[in-house]
């Protein structure tokens, strides 16, 4: 080609049109059209932009340490924010932190090493966000390490953990949850629905192997960021191999697919939802830790189905093609928040509720170690580590042609999907015993004890001991002393399992239909009728006749064989020993046994220990057996029980009970305390805990025989509508006399009034509606003693008694003095008042 050839002389065709030349044309057109508005909106958005990435806890830490550093930089170092910090500034800040911080632990003053590291990381983050040129030299980094080590040598920071990690396996969780239910059965609760939710919360976290914040609402999160009913696909399958004569619930299997939408780091990222499959457990021994049985009972109690019985709900699910249950409120949280002991169905329960529940269950089970909810996740991991691998991820990656990076980064796992088999039953069966961890009590505790509270004097004495002087250096030494005392008192020996072959069968637990609503009269006595027990008012206690009697359906129980119990535990539990039951000694007295007294001294239970004892070894036995009953009986019992323990049975105190009603729950009824001497024949029952404590203090062999003779004699019920009084006695004449006295005093004829026979006072004008009202008036306004303290030596009460009747009541109930000794004290008090009045008169004469 010629050298003078110019390629510019050639003409080439235009390139082919770009097929993406019109991409984004709609957006570009919108930008041109709304340029002015977008300019203002974008500038406003930039001005109002805040740091909102990360979890709320991380954002709180960033803000805290950014503000702390800015204050130190300005007030201590006297530098402005435009100055770039140097390494020496960071060193001074680190060395000053222990003096401006407080340890979160009540057992030590030193700050955790990790806390200081976290503070330094967030401080660097705040500095780099303000100064791009900030950097530390190699020497600066080494000096910062020296600062940390210096603080550690000075014992201002420590690497020691605050607590020792524990592993709460499924077996141990069953033990803890059972303790919650046993306490509720034996001692009563204000609301059984709260107990069921507590048990469900612990069982769910254990079965799902989840963090507590994945089923409940974590701190600073929205009220709905928790597990909801829509996240649980519950279905039922009929077992064709089961006998057809069994109840429907005993012939089906419950399965569920649970979706955790709020996992750590992916709270609002649906692509990282964690799915777990659960199946109901066949072993009735673990009913209390079966999340599906507890969930079914919990949902029935709160009207979350379109039916109110478990059998109807299962029957409806079986009519569906896939056997899936229909939730009535799918958006409702499974675990709801509580406010003033009432459920808030629009808000999820906080993680703090589950933490408190775990601590409560641990105390009931005698566990002295401090537990946290993450120990449940550790226990699940321990059990899962013992299971054989079931999914071949490497084979799946090879089949899909995935690289090792795809396998390790979780891409292959997304292709495989969630595990379609439930591992809960396998985890229980392969439980690995840890001899150096928390011990699983294979012999379950049948008697739940409430330890007495630590008094101020106990704390003072503990801190005064020379070996405990180091506690006084702590931020809150009394809290540390309280924890140490509780730990000393928590060592309780569990009894062996007792033979239950001679006890009443579970078929006698149902039906559980209450006969009277809760807003009824106080229960004061028991009259046996056939095999049932009606709780009525006895004739030796006065009734105002304004309320009707309440009844509870309960079976009579057979005594427990106490020979199989540890004697020390028998003494603490209130169950009489064989020697005590057979002897002629007063059963209210503590057996004089040196071995038992030594055991009490070791456990630091003195004579003044106020233990809340079980009301009976037999009264709640059938209820406890339901915990290991068949699936149908367990769910029916747990979804219906609705007894409530109260101290005041005045109907005015129980008008607002709507929060206790609804769903499958029975009509609320009073919880009936039973005398601990029921195995010896005492038939006393009451809804008042203080009244039961007083009764047990005076319950003797003679009094029980007298009460039983009285109950087996004549009786006559009041015929006035609404009055629950029943006159009882060994002789018909006495019954008629008591009955007529009751009618005259409580139900006088219209127009009948009474007046004060003493008179002379502003409140004596009356008229009074009954003789009892006159007696009450005389006791209150015509006392014949001057204000004086209790005459019993050693009484700590500082109250001045101005009424002989009130003083007598205090001495009888507070000091358990009765009979001639009580009369002598009251007469002396009256004489003291007369003598003082005489002295005052003689002074006036001079």
796 lies in a domain?
Answer: yes
Angle at 556 between CA 551 and CA 560, to 5 degrees: 135
476 lies in a domain?
Answer: no
Give the pTM.
0.67
Q: Quick one: average pLDDT of 787-806?
A: 84
Mean pLDDT, the chain, as a whole number? 77
Same domain, 80 and 199: no
Q: Both ends of the chain: CA-CA distance in Å?
A: 155
Q: Quote the pLDDT of residue 354.
A: 94
Using the predicted structure, report yes or no on whether residue 306 has a pLDDT greater than 70: yes
| Domain C-terminal end among 651, 684, 711 | 711
Q: Quote the pLDDT of residue 436.
A: 60
Q: Quote the pLDDT of residue 556.
A: 32
Establish whether the linkage from the previous residue to 511 is cis, with ω within 30° of 0.
yes
758 lies in a domain?
Answer: no
Q: Quick one: average pLDDT of 618-632?
A: 75
Lowest pLDDT segment from 336-350, 392-406, 523-537, 789-803 = 523-537
pLDDT tens string 178-193 = 999 998 988 888 899 9
Q: Quick one: average pLDDT of 99-127?
A: 90
Same domain, 687 and 825: no
In three-state secondary structure terms, 73 is helix
Question: Backbone dihedral region of 220: left (phi > 0), alpha (psi from -120 to 50 degrees) or beta?
Answer: left
Indicate the DSSP class of residue 725: B
Q: Quick one: average pLDDT of 427-434?
A: 72
| Domain C-terminal end among 419, 437, 465 | 419
Q: Quick one: average pLDDT of 31-55?
A: 92
Q: Quote the pLDDT of residue 794.
A: 84
* Measured distance CA(692)–CA(676) in Å, rounded: 9
Using the predicted structure, report yes or no on whether residue 846 has a pLDDT greater than 70: no
Lowest pLDDT segment from 36-50, 112-126, 544-558, 786-800 = 544-558
359 lies in a domain?
Answer: yes
Give percent above pLDDT 70 in the chain: 75
* Measured distance CA(820)–CA(521) in Å, rounded: 33
Q: Which residue has the tokens 């490497």?
A: 394
23 lies in a domain?
Answer: no
Same domain, 331 and 264: yes
Same domain, 123 and 231: no
Same domain, 738 and 795: no
67 lies in a domain?
Answer: yes
413 token code pair: 């796992």
Q: Quote the pLDDT of residue 311.
A: 94
Using the predicted structure, report yes or no on whether residue 445 has a pLDDT greater than 50: no
Indicate the DSSP class of residue 555: B
Indicate the DSSP class of residue 72: I
pLDDT tens string 59-71 = 999 999 999 999 9
* Measured distance CA(821)–CA(298) in Å, rounded: 54
Same domain, 719 and 706: no
Q: Which residue has the higher pLDDT, 225 or 574?
A: 225
Q: Which residue has the higher pLDDT, 754 or 360?
A: 360
Range among 17-21, 89-93, 449-453, 763-767 rated most confident = 89-93
52 token code pair: 């909102």
Lowest pLDDT segment from 304-308, 484-488, 618-622, 732-736 = 618-622
728 token code pair: 């009882």
pLDDT tens string 276-304 = 999 999 999 999 999 999 999 999 999 99
Using the predicted structure, report yes or no on whether residue 262 has a pLDDT greater than 60: yes
Q: Quote the pLDDT of residue 409.
A: 85
249 lies in a domain?
Answer: yes
Per-residue pLDDT band for 822 (boundaries 50, 70, 90) equals confident
Going by C-alpha positions, the residue among 644, 712, 711, 640 that lies closest to residue 673 is: 644
145 lies in a domain?
Answer: yes
Using the predicted structure, report yes or no on whether residue 52 has a pLDDT greater than 80: yes
Q: Quick one: average pLDDT of 423-429?
A: 89
Lowest pLDDT segment from 98-107, 278-287, 534-543, 821-830 = 534-543
Lowest pLDDT segment from 3-7, 92-96, 485-489, 492-496 = 492-496
Q: Quote the pLDDT of residue 580.
A: 40
**Can you name the residues that pair with 278 across neighbouring β-strands?**
256
* Measured distance CA(846)–CA(836) in Å, rounded: 16
Same domain, 733 and 814: no
Contacts of residue 700, Cβ cutoff 8 Å, sequence gap at least 6: 586, 587, 588
The sign one gets for the Cα dihedral 236, 239, 240, 246 is negative
Same domain, 720 and 707: no
Q: Quote the pLDDT of residue 710.
A: 57
| Domain C-terminal end among 133, 158, 183 | 158
Same domain, 685 and 788: no
Per-residue pLDDT band for 685 (boundaries 50, 70, 90) equals confident
Using the predicted structure, report yes or no on whether residue 607 has a pLDDT greater than 50: no
Same domain, 81 and 109: yes
* Measured distance CA(230)–CA(769) in Å, rounded: 60
Q: Which residue has the higher pLDDT, 674 or 33?
A: 33
* Measured distance CA(780)–CA(757) in Å, rounded: 14
Per-residue pLDDT band for 437 (boundaries 50, 70, 90) equals low
Lowest pLDDT segment from 78-82, 201-205, 303-307, 415-419 = 415-419
Q: Quick one: average pLDDT of 156-178?
A: 90
Q: Quote the pLDDT of residue 730.
A: 67
| Number of structural domains the chain divides into | 5
Q: Which residue has the tokens 């009285």?
A: 710
Contacts of residue 761, Cβ cutoff 8 Å, sequence gap at least 6: 781, 782
Per-residue pLDDT band for 435 (boundaries 50, 70, 90) equals low
Q: Quick one: average pLDDT of 74-81?
A: 92
Q: Quote the pLDDT of residue 632.
A: 93
| Residue 770 near residue 749 (C-beta atoms within 8 A) | no
Q: Quote the pLDDT of residue 417.
A: 84
Domain extent for 682: 672-711
For residue 699, what are the CA distances in angstroms to 173, 533, 621? 38, 20, 22
* Measured distance CA(130)–CA(118) in Å, rounded: 19
Using the predicted structure, report yes or no on whether residue 602 has a pLDDT greater than 60: no
Q: Quick one: average pLDDT of 769-795?
A: 77
Same domain, 128 and 65: yes
Per-residue pLDDT band for 734 (boundaries 50, 70, 90) equals confident
| Residue 95 near residue 151 (C-beta atoms within 8 A) | yes
For 652, other C-beta atoms within 10 Å of its C-beta total: 7
Q: Quick one: average pLDDT of 720-730?
A: 75
Same domain, 811 and 723: no
Q: Quick one: average pLDDT of 411-432?
A: 84
């Amino acid at each position: 080609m010629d050298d003078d050839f110019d390629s510019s002389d050639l003409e080439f065709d235009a390139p082919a049109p770009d097929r993406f030349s019109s991409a984004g044309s709609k957006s570009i057109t919108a930008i041109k059209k709304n340029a002015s508005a977008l300019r203002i909106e974008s500038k406003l958005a930039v001005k109002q932009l805040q740091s909102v990435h990360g979890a709320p806890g991380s954002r709180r830490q960033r803000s805290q340490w950014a503000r702390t550093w800015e204050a130190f930089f300005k007030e201590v170092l006297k530098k402005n924010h435009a100055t770039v910090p140097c390494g020496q500034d960071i060193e001074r800040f680190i060395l000053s932190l222990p003096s401006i911080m407080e340890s979160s632990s009540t057992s030590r003053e030193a700050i955790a090493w990790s806390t200081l590291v976290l503070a330094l990381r967030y401080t660097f983050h705040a500095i780099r966000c303000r100064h791009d040129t900030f950097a530390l030299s190699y020497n600066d980094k080494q000096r910062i390490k020296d600062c940390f080590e210096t603080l550690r040598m000075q014992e201002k920071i420590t690497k020691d953990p605050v607590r020792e990690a524990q592993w709460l396996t499924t077996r141990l969780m069953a033990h803890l949850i059972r303790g919650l239910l046993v306490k509720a059965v034996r001692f009563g609760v204000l609301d059984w629905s709260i107990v069921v939710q507590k048990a469900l919360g612990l069982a769910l976290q254990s079965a799902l192997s989840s963090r507590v914040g994945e089923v409940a609402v974590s701190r600073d999160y929205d009220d709905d960021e928790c597990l909801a009913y829509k996240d649980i696909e519950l279905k039922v399958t009929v077992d064709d191999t089961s006998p057809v004569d069994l109840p429907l619930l005993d012939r089906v299997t419950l399965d569920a697919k649970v979706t955790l939408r709020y996992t750590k780091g992916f709270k609002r990222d649906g692509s990282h939802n964690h799915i777990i499959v659960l199946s109901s457990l066949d072993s009735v021994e673990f009913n209390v830790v079966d999340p599906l049985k507890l969930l079914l009972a919990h949902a029935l109690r709160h009207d979350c189905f379109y039916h109110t019985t478990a059998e109807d709900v299962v029957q409806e699910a079986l009519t569906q093609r896939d056997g899936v249950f229909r939730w009535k409120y799918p958006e409702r949280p499974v675990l709801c928040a509580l406010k003033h002991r009432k459920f808030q169905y629009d808000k999820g329960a906080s993680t703090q509720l589950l933490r408190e529940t775990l601590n409560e269950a641990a105390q009931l089970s005698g566990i002295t170690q401090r537990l946290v909810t993450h120990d449940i996740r550790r226990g699940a991991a321990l059990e899962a580590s013992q299971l054989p691998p079931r999914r071949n991820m490497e084979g799946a990656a090879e089949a899909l042609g995935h690289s090792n990076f795809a396998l390790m980064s979780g891409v292959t796992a997304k292709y495989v999907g969630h595990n379609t088999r439930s591992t809960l039953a396998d985890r229980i069966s392969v439980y690995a015993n840890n001899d150096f961890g928390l011990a699983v009590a294979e012999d379950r505790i049948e008697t739940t004890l409430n330890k007495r509270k630590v008094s101020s004097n106990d704390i003072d004495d503990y801190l005064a001991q020379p070996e405990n002087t180091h506690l006084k250096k702590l931020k809150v030494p009394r809290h540390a002393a309280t924890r140490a005392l509780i730990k000393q008192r928590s060592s309780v020996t569990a009894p062996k399992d007792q033979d239950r072959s001679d006890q009443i069968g579970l078929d006698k637990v149902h039906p559980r239909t209450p006969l009277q609503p809760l807003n009824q009269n106080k229960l004061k006595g028991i009259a046996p009728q056939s095999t049932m027990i009606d709780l009525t008012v006895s004739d030796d206690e006065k009734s105002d006749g304004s309320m009707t009697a309440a009844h509870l359906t309960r079976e009579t129980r057979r005594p427990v064989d106490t020979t199989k119990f540890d004697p020390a535990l028998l003494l603490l539990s209130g169950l009489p020993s064989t020697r005590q039951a057979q002897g002629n000694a007063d059963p209210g007295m503590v057996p004089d046994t040196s071995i038992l007294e030594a055991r009490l001294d070791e456990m630091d239970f003195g004579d003044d220990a106020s233990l809340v004892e079980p009301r009976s070894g037999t009264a709640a036995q059938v209820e406890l057996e339901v915990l290991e009953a068949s699936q149908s009986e367990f769910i029916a019992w747990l979804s219906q029980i609705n007894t409530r323990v109260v101290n005041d049975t005045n109907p005015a105190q129980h008008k607002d009970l709507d929060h206790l009603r609804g769903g499958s729950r029975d009509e609320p009824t009073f919880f009936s305390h039973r005398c601990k001497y029921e195995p010896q024949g005492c038939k006393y029952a009451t809804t008042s805990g203080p009244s039961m404590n007083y009764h047990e203090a005076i319950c003797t062999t003679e009094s029980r025989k007298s009460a039983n003779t009285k109950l087996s004699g004549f009786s006559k019920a009041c015929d006035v509508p609404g009055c629950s009084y029943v006159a009882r006695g060994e002789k018909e004449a006495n019954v008629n006399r008591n009955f007529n006295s009751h009618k005259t005093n409580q139900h006088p004829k219209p127009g009948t009034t009474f007046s004060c026979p003493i008179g002379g006072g502003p409140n004596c004008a009356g008229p009074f509606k009954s003789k009892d009202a006159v007696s009450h008036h005389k006791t209150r306004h015509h006392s014949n003693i001057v204000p004086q303290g209790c005459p019993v030596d050693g009484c700590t009460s500082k109250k001045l008694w101005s009424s002989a009747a009130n003083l007598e009541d205090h001495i009888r109930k507070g000091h358990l003095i009765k009979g001639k000794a009580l009369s002598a004290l009251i007469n002396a008090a009256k004489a003291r008042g007369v003598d003082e009045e005489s002295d005052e008169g003689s002074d006036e004469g001079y």
